[in-house]
Structure 1
């Protein structure tokens, strides 16, 4: 067993399945003589529900995870350079991306068999903001092996939303005709366009969910087809074995009938030979008695 691949499999299991699977694999490593692997496996800690959801997001949506990591790199660079315009633009993008990833993480968790409450969802979202703000948190998250969300990671002042904004859609656009400040350019937000974007986003999410359902259904069909092929092959083998056994049985039955016939004939021959043996024995006794009588007559006449 490879330690990294085993760890990857373990952290994809639901939290309640983690400990038993880890201990089972560690015991197997001990039986195989790999105590170092067993020690490494036993050192793995069961992930919290929020950490598991974050790991699930990394594993199931790697492209979106990489996009978040790249955005965090851009944010940190802009923060170091004190580039206000870029920070504002990246801040807007981070809120949209984090909200989208939070929703996706909740859906993935539900598909994997866990309902995610608001408290866990907040932890997930806070982890995503920590990934944006801290390179170490981003590196740990990218492994997909978090045991618990990163704690105490600072954010970007003025960019992180307040508690009321968490788990909500991106901030509402400004009213038509209201321009941004001079430092932010002259972009005018159109409410109709914003609503249309949200509508398209919802449609994309519904399409993604439908595609995932279709993929799962197709996978189920393929699995059933494969199982059907295996069962048909097993049935064909069983029928061939049955025919072979039937032929063998017929041959053995014929041989048994022939052997019984030979035995019956031999029994008749044995009976005839015994009869002749008895007759020969009687004749021998009679001849012996006659010889003894003749000898006695000779002795008497002397």
Structure 2
């Protein structure tokens, strides 16, 4: 947003817009920009807004990278957060092997986003990312996958610090503690029943058979339901993964296009430098030609003046010669008249 304003009429400060802009800046630009906005709000009479802006924390490097992803890779982040929602829902129904597969995919997606963040940082003059920063970014993305509140915080694009994961998508603990499985309870109950009279035992056995049949039917329905849910979740995960891969491919194509454009720009700059050098050479040669023309023009004027002087001298000499010839003719006539 523009920082220009009239001194006579201070511009009101939009606190939310200021926060979005500030957390889109690199950490080394944050503090100066924040203080400038706080001063503007204070000058506009918004002291409370100025105080809140002044208290905004400078983002750590990992938070800046996460904010950068939200701004520059919005489609990928939205697909990532949808994947997190699907994984949280799937966690409630899937068993250990399926959850381990989800965890593996989670790491793949986070690694892909981390590489994109490093590439974006490099284009902004930060090619080196510390290991601690990469780990903090991984934790932030993992937290957004596991926790809806963390997902909303990431999506806002105004993180000041890294997020801490509050859960994982690893195997869940079973509701029945190990060593106290239903089968063992059933065995214990059967043993106790055997100690009673034979008739109640047979009746109890028939009842258990009916309950077991009902339990089998219910278990089959539950297994079918879970299988259907797993298929739906798998389809959503597949779509999200495909979207992320497509976005990653598009980002790589965009980076390749940018490299091609940069190469063309370098070539154009080279041609421009060559053209400037040619122009400078032509200007130098033109200046030399102008000097030569000026010198030749001066020589031509000097030659014309010399020619005019020579013509004038020739006319003078010719007039003197004519005068001399006339006097000679007069002298010859006078001599002839005297009979000499």
TM-score class, shorter-chain normalisation, is 0.5 to 0.7
Q: Distance in 1 between matches of 2:57 and 2:136?
A: 18
2:253 to 184, 207, 212: 207
Query: With CA pairs under 8 Å and 6+ residues apart, which has the higher RCO, 1 or 2?
Result: 2
Tell me the alpha carbon deviations over residues 100-140 of structure 1, each in whole angstroms, 9 at most, x when there is no partner.
10100111111112121222112111211111111111111
> Residue 58 of structure 1 is aligned with which of 56, 70, 74?
70
> Is the 8 Å Cα contact of residues 54 and 124 (structure 1) preserved in structure 2?
yes
Within 5 Å, give how 1:281-300 maps onto structure 2: none
Which digits, 9 at most, give the CA deviation of each residue in 1:228-262, with x for residues without a partner? xxxxxxxxxxxxxxxxxxxxxxxxxxxxxxxxxxx
**1:37 and 1:216 mapped to 2: Cα distance?**
43
Work out the number of aligned pairs and report it: 183
User: Alpha carbons of 1:73 and 1:83: their partners in 2 closer, same or farther (altered >3 Å)?
Assistant: farther
1:19-98 aligned at under 5 Å gives the runs: 19-82=31-94, 87-98=99-110
204 and 141 in structure 1: CA distance in 2 versus 1, 3 angstrom threshold:
closer
Gapped regions of structure 1 (runs ≥ 5)? 160-182, 186-199, 220-302
Bigger mean CA deviation after superposition, 64-73 or 93-102: 93-102
Judging changes above 3 Å, is the alpha-carbon distance between structure 1 residues 158 and 144 closer, same or farther for their aligned structure 2 residues? same
Residues 86 and 71 of structure 1: is their aligned pair in 2 closer, same or farther, counting only changes over 3 Å? farther
Q: TM-score under structure 2 normalisation?
A: 0.48
TM-score, normalising length: structure 1 = 0.53
Cα shift at 1:211: 2.9
User: Is 1:133 aligned with 2:149?
Assistant: no
Cα deviation code 1:44-71 (max 9, x no counterpart): 1100011111111111101111111111
Q: Identify unmatched segments of 5+ residues in structure 2.
A: 1-12, 173-226, 232-245, 266-340
Aligned-CA RMSD value: 3.4
Question: What's the secondary structure of 1:27's corresponding residue?
Answer: helix
Q: Secondary structure at the match of 2:45?
A: coil
Distance 1:93 1:152 in 2: 17
Q: Distance in 2 between matches of 1:51 and 1:9?
A: 14
Q: Which has the larger radius of gyration?
A: 2
